[in-house]
Amino acid sequence: MKPIAASLTALWMLAAAPLCAQQAASAAAPAADPVPGPVVVELFTSQGCSSCPPADRLLRELTDREDVLPLALHVDYWDYIGWKDVFAAPGFTHRQKAYARAAGRKMIYTPQMIVMGQEDVVGAHAMELAELIMSHMRRPVSVMIGAETRGGVLHVSLQPLGPVQGPLDVQLVRYTPLEHVQIARGENAGRDLDYANVVTDWDVLGEWDGTSEAQFQADLKGDSPAAVLVQRSGFGPIVGAARVRRD
């Protein structure tokens, strides 16, 4: 884990230097620019995949960053080789396949990371991932998202800050911060592995045309972390994201 952490840290510092200069200039200006939401990184992974643990560790590193929203989506298509992934869901496999179709790719694989619903990266390629994240951080904010709970009800507010191509799906994602699994069979047999930000639910709250302010509501029970994503329909780019603030 340490070599990955070191490479990531070094690249954050290198790639962030121009961004830090821009932020310093913005801080000196009379009017502040809108604060961007976190960069969404989806990891498609499986407990039955021997190549996945390095990517799982890399995703866990990303949980230390407020400007990144890392999400682990466990797929079920490796369950047949000896170990059934306890977090896998057919819907996550469907999501990965839909991304591939939207991008014109003919195959899916694990570990695969998708950054902001657009670029795909082999899950353990820390340098390439860091560069993509920094690239998205430099892009202008197109949507302001408010997401907070009041009395067990989630209130979502959306405000376009520029041209936003619709239609857009407003999605609610819930996840578990950390899980520990002892794997008894399959390619990772005998290993004790940690999994961060394991997605448990992925729901669509509604559709937004992106042209005017909009409000959405949904019941949100329990205290597990959640986030709201706004994504172009048809598994297009994610144009904005926000963590849910709890009352």
Give the residue among 77, 75, 71 at the shortest CA–CA distance from 88.
Answer: 75
Mean pLDDT of 41-51: 97
Q: What is the mean pLDDT of the chain?
A: 89
Neighbours of 87 (CB within 10 A): 20
pTM over 0.75: yes
Helices (H) and strands (E) in the chain, counts: 4, 11
Mean pLDDT of 131-153: 95
Using DSSP, state whether 56 is helix, strand or coil.
helix
Per the DSSP assignment, residues forming a β-bridge with 179 are 195
**Cα distance between residue 202 and residue 29, in whole Å:** 39
> In what helix (H) or strand (E) does residue 216 lie, and over which residues does it extend?
strand 214-219
Using DSSP, state whether 7 is helix, strand or coil.
helix
Mean pLDDT of 75-86: 95
Using DSSP, state whether 145 is helix, strand or coil.
strand
Q: Is omega for the bond preceding 30 within 30 degrees of 0, making it cis?
A: no
| pLDDT, tens digit, 9 for 90 and up, residues 92-137 | 999 999 999 999 999 999 999 999 999 999 988 999 999 999 999 9
**The amino acid at 37:** G
pLDDT at 8 over 70: no
In this prediction, residue 34 carries a pLDDT of: 77
Can you read off the two tokens belonging to residue 7?
A: 């490479």
| DSSP of 151-191 | TTEEEEEEEESS---S-EEEEEEEEEEEEEEE--SSTTTT-
pLDDT at 32 over 90: no
**Cα distance between residue 237 and residue 44, in whole Å:** 17
> In what helix (H) or strand (E) does residue 221 lie, and over which residues does it extend?
none
Percent of the chain whose pLDDT exceeds 90: 81
Q: Is omega for the bond preceding 53 within 30 degrees of 0, making it cis?
A: no
Q: How confident is the model at residue 27 (pLDDT cuts 50, 70, 90)?
A: very low
Burial class (CB in 10 A: 0-12, 13-18, 19+), 51: middle
Pick the CATH number of 2-19+37-243 from 3.40.30.10, 3.20.20.70, 3.40.50.2300, 1.10.10.10: 3.40.30.10
In this prediction, residue 36 carries a pLDDT of: 84
In this prediction, residue 12 carries a pLDDT of: 54
Extents of the domains making up the chain: 2-19+37-243
